[in-house]
Each structure stands twice: as structure tokens, then as C-alpha cells.
Amino acid sequence: MFNLIAGLHQFKTEIHANNEEFFDRLAQQQVPDALFITCSDSRIDPNLLTQAKPGELFILRNAGNIVPPHGNQIGGEEATIEFAIVSLGIKDIIVCGHSQCGAMRGLLDTELIREMPAVSAWLDYAQQTKQLVLSKYHKLDHEAKLNIAVQENVLVQLEHLRTYPSVAERLERNEIAIHGWVYKIETGEVYIYESDYQQFLPLIYEDGHYHVDLSKVIQPSIQP
């Protein structure tokens, strides 16, 4: 805890004090580029990962980067998403899962969450992910199953996003786009879901452009 308090002091006296104009502008308004939905896992830093500055990412985090489908009890997730697109006019929504996800581990091995009834209930919103992994990928070893669960869960949560009226209407009118990403902590890579190939593919930079690395297309999708 001491480190955090020391950090507050360092932030105010060094970073904030040296960027007063920037923080003055931020105090007037926020105009974020994207809504970034990811896991609460402490190893993910969305701003570090994307090199976004304060004010550029509107962030929603919870265990397992879950988006409860519309029609369930209104919770923080739906309210946050609605605010992001209706009030802030955000045009891109990213759901970003990650390697070594404890929530996905718990989803696949319920023994790990036996003493956590709230986590267990929360992960009901990812049951579709579990069923898919168990039915299609039951022969894979545990780590491979975990990787698949991380990927499939991003897709399941993207589907849940589509159930929100505010999202569905804007998707229909092509006013917003939704994106599935998986961050691999071990390598620093981000895999992006490419619907044409139905796979998560790594991003590469080539000839001044970013695109997914099509040389990595495989069947079936078992990476990262």
C-alpha cells in the first residue's frame, strides 16, 4: 500500500504538474476513441497495451471480460456500455480477453471456484463458452482448452453485446463496430478476431499499414 501512496505523490508533483495544460483539457470533457471491455486481471493495462493516453479509452472491467446479455437484471455493465455509446458517442467497442485468465480457469474447473458462489454465479454468463469447449475441444489438453476458452469467451461476449438495443440499433445502421481481441501476456501480442477466417490472428505492421497476419491462418483455430 505504501507504494501506491508514494505513487499518488509522484503523480501529482511530477506528471500532473508537468502536464497542466493536458489535464486542464481533460477536466473540460472526455472524448474517448473506444470502449475497452476487459478482465480485471492486474496484469492487463489497457492504456499501456494500446499506448492510449488518459481520456482515450473508456474502460469496463470485470472478472472474465463478461457482458451479461440484455434482459438480465440491469447491472453496471449494461449501464456503462449504454452510456459509452449513447452519451459519449463511442464508435468502437473492443472485448479483450487474455492468456492465463483465472476466470476462464474457474469456468473450466469449478473446483477452483467452489468457495466463491458469486464468481460461480457470474460465470454463468460464460456457460456457452464452457459448453463449446467441452463439446468441440474435449480432446485437447488443459492449457489448450484454456486458450480456446479465452478466445471463444470473447466471441460469446460479443454476441451478448449484440443483444443490447443501443448496440443492435447502431450496428444495424453501421454506426458502430465491435471487435474481439486476445492479449497474450507472455509475448505482448494481441490477436484480433478476423471474421472472414473465423480465427484470432496476430497483428503485424507492414509497409506503413497494420493488418492481421494471414500467414498464421490455421484450421482449426487453436492459437494462441
**CA proximity to 202, closest of 174, 221, 220:** 221
Q: By C-beta, is 157 or 170 nearer to Zn ion?
A: 157
Least gap, CB of 29 to Zn ion (angstroms): 31
Least Å distance, CB 105 to Zn ion, is: 9
Closer to Zn ion by Cβ: residue 57 or 63: 63
Nearer to Zn ion, 90 or 101 (CB): 101
**Least gap, CB of 170 to Zn ion (angstroms):** 27
Closest to Zn ion by CB, 41 vs 152, is 41
Spatial CB neighbours of 44, under 8 Å, sequence gap ≥ 6: 38, 96, 98, 183, 185
Tally of CB atoms within 10 A around 10: 11
Looking at the DSSP bridge assignments, the partners of residue 97 are 182
- The CB-of-49 to Zn ion minimum distance in angstroms stands at 14
Distance CA 10, CA 17 (A): 10
- Interface residues with Zn ion (CB under 5 A)? 39, 41, 101, 103
CA-CA distances (angstroms) from residue 205 to 192, 211, 213? 13, 7, 9
